[in-house]
Amino acid sequence: MPDVHPLIRGLIVVSSLLAFCVVSGCVGQAVLPTGAGIFHYHIQEDRRDLETMIRRLYAKNPKYQPSRVMRHKRIEQIFHGRPLLDKYAGMPSNEVLSAAFAPDTSEPDRVFLLGLGMMKSIREAYGVEHKQIMITALQVPLERLQRLYRNLNQVNWRLKTYKDKQGRLLFLTNEKGADGYLNMGYEVIMTAILTRVQDDIYLRGGLPGKYIFDMSTMFVSIIL
C-alpha cells in the first residue's frame, strides 16, 4: 500500500479484520473495544445476579409457585433461552413489571413476572433481545440505559413497599432471622446491578444522578 500513512494503513487492516470477524461470527472479548467489552461483561453479571435473586425469591415466596419443577422451568425460560409459550413472550418489559406488582394479575406467579420483566429490561436496553452484535458502546442508546436505571430503581422501591390487600408485602425479601440478623442479600444484588447500569450510563456520557426515579411514576418503556 504505497503512499499511505502507516496509521491509516493500520486502521484499514484492523477494520478489515473486525469486519471479517463480524461476518464469520468470531467476535469475542479479544477484539471488542473497551466500552463494548464492559457492556458484555455487565450483561453477564446482571444475568447471573438476577438468577440468584429469583431463586431466592422463589424459596422465600413459595406460594407463587409451589412446584419445584415449574420453578426450574420458569428460570430456564427467563435466563437460559427456553421458549416462552405464553402471552408474556412478546410483551415489553415495562408491562411485565407492572403486572408483577399489580393488585390483581392473571398470572399467579409474581416471581416469574418480576424476573422476566427485569431480564427483558436489560435485554431491551442493551439491544441483545434481537441478537444484535455489539461492536461499540455507541450502539447502545444513552436514553435506553437511563430508562433501565429508572425502572430498576422503581423495582427496588416497590419490593420494599408494595403490599397486598391484607397489608402484607407482595414479596418477602430482607428480614431479620431468629438471631436478629438482617439478611440484606436482595439489597446487595440490586445495588450491584444498579451500580453497573450507572457505570454504563457514565461510559456513554450520561449523568446517573439526574435520573433518580420519582416514586410517583410508573415503569417506562425502554424501547424508544
Confidence category of residue 158, pLDDT binned at 50, 70, 90: very high
Written as one string, the DSSP assignment of the chain is -TT--HHHHHHHHHHHHHHHHHHHT---TTTS-HHHHHHHHHHHHHHHHHHHHHHHHHHH-GGG---HHHHHHHHHHHHS-PPP-SGGGSS-HHHHHHHHH-SS-S-S-HHHHHHHHHHHHHHHHHTTTTT----SGGGS-HHHHHHHHHHHHHHHHHHHH-B-TTS-BSS--S-B-TTS-B--HHHHHHHHHHHHHHHHHHHTT--GGGGPPPTT-----S--
Q: Is the pLDDT of residue 79 over 50?
A: yes
Confidence category of residue 15, pLDDT binned at 50, 70, 90: very low
pLDDT for 176 equals 56
- The answer to whether 140 and 123 have CB atoms below 8 angstroms apart is no
Average of per-residue pLDDT across 207-221: 61
pLDDT for 29 equals 44
Q: How far is CA 140 from CA 1, 28, 78, 177, in A?
A: 35, 18, 22, 42
Q: Give domain limits for the chain.
A: 31-211
Count how many Cα atoms sit within 13 Å of the Cα of residue 187 in the half-sphere of its side chain. 6
Count how many Cα atoms sit within 13 Å of the Cα of residue 32 in the half-sphere of its side chain. 20
Average of per-residue pLDDT across 183-197: 88
- The answer to whether 118 and 50 have CB atoms below 8 angstroms apart is yes
Q: Which residue has the higher pLDDT, 81 or 5?
A: 81
Q: What is the mean pLDDT of the chain?
A: 80
Confidence category of residue 217, pLDDT binned at 50, 70, 90: low
Q: Which residue has the higher pLDDT, 94 or 174?
A: 94
pTM to 2 decimal places: 0.78
pLDDT for 20 equals 41
Q: Is the pLDDT of residue 55 over 70?
A: yes
pLDDT for 13 equals 43
pLDDT for 49 equals 96
pLDDT in tens, 104-138: 888 899 999 999 999 999 999 998 765 566 677 77
Average of per-residue pLDDT across 161-169: 91
Please name which of 143, 120, 137, 114 lies closest in space to residue 211, comparing C-alpha atoms: 143
